[in-house]
Amino acid sequence: AQSVSQHNHHVILSEAASLELGCNYSYGGTVNLFWYVQYPGQHLQLLLKYFSGDPLVKGIKGFEAEFIKSKFSFNLRKPSVQWSDTAEYFCAVIYNTDKLIFGTGTRLQVFP
Amino acid sequence: EAQVTQNPRYLITVTGKKLTVTCSQNMNHEYMSWYRQDPGLGLRQIYYSMNVEVTDKGDVPEGYKVSRKEKRNFPLILESPSPNQTSLYFCASSPSRVAVAGYTFGSGTRLTVV
């Protein structure tokens, strides 16, 4: 079955630390990949997306993600996190259809 | 401003009392969808619609109904709510069947069924 896994459920970092959140998806042919962010009490917002081309994708607020096809992964990275990055992060995949499948989310807490 | 509007933001109701959560988008999007978000489970799709009068079940449709009589509106109906439907609900829309631009989400409706 098509699925998305986010292995880090809760990540705690200090400001200026580097961030990498894992995302793996099950094999299913052509995929479109997304990272969404949900700030406390708010709706989901698109951080970045990958459809084709350069596997290193840059998004908003200094985030980037790398698509590694051989590993079925699309990990999210940021070199230096800020307190304002405290949020929940969702990886999501579309497999050849219009259905967006979400991972279970990773809660990030950044302390000053 | 392009947006997806959900109402109400918060709702507390009793078991069995029918309710409707409205969703409206002003972007002329064809595709609309409802999700529920529960701790540790992420977002799960309830129903989706690819255009007017075209709806289909998602992963967790039991206990819910939807309709798409107009392109802009996609209400979620709970005919007889139960406590296990206590959740945070999001409506989303996208321009077309293949969500090239990603989805636009509403602000959410936090529903509590007692």
Residues of chain B with confidence (pLDDT) below 70: 97-101
Identify all chain A residues contacting B41, using CB atoms and an 8 Å cutoff: 104
Residue numbers in chain A where pLDDT is lower than 70: 97-98
Q: Tell me what percent of chain A is helix, strand and coil, each rounded to the nearest 5.
A: 10, 55, 40
Residue B50 to residue A49, Cβ atoms within 8 A: no
Question: What residues of B are in contact with residue A34 (Cβ under 8 Å)?
Answer: 102
pLDDT at B27: 93
Kindly state the tokens that stand for A51: 């459809």
Polymer length of chain A:
112
Alpha carbons B45 and A24: distance in angstroms, whole number: 20
Distance CA B65, CA B79 (A): 8
In this prediction, residue A100 carries a pLDDT of: 80
Give one DSSP letter per residue of B40-100, joined into a string.
Answer: TTEEEEEEEEEETTEEEE-S--TT-EE--SSSSB--EEESS--GGG-EEEEEEEESSSS-T
**Does any CB of chain B come closer than 8 Å to the CB of residue A59?**
no
**A27 class by beta-carbon count within 10 Å (0-12 exposed, 13-18 middle, 19+ buried):** exposed
* Nearest residue of chain A to residue B37 (CA atoms): A104
What's the pLDDT score for residue A33?
92
Residue with tokens 């978000």: B37
In this complex, how many residue pairs, one in chain A and one in chain B, have their CB atoms less than 8 Å apart?
A: 50
Largest CA distance in chain B: 40
Q: Which residues of B touch A45 (CB under 8 A)?
A: 105
Q: What is the pLDDT of residue A83?
A: 96
Q: B36, B16 in Cβ contact below 8 A?
A: no
Give the nearest chain A residue to B38 (CA atoms): A104
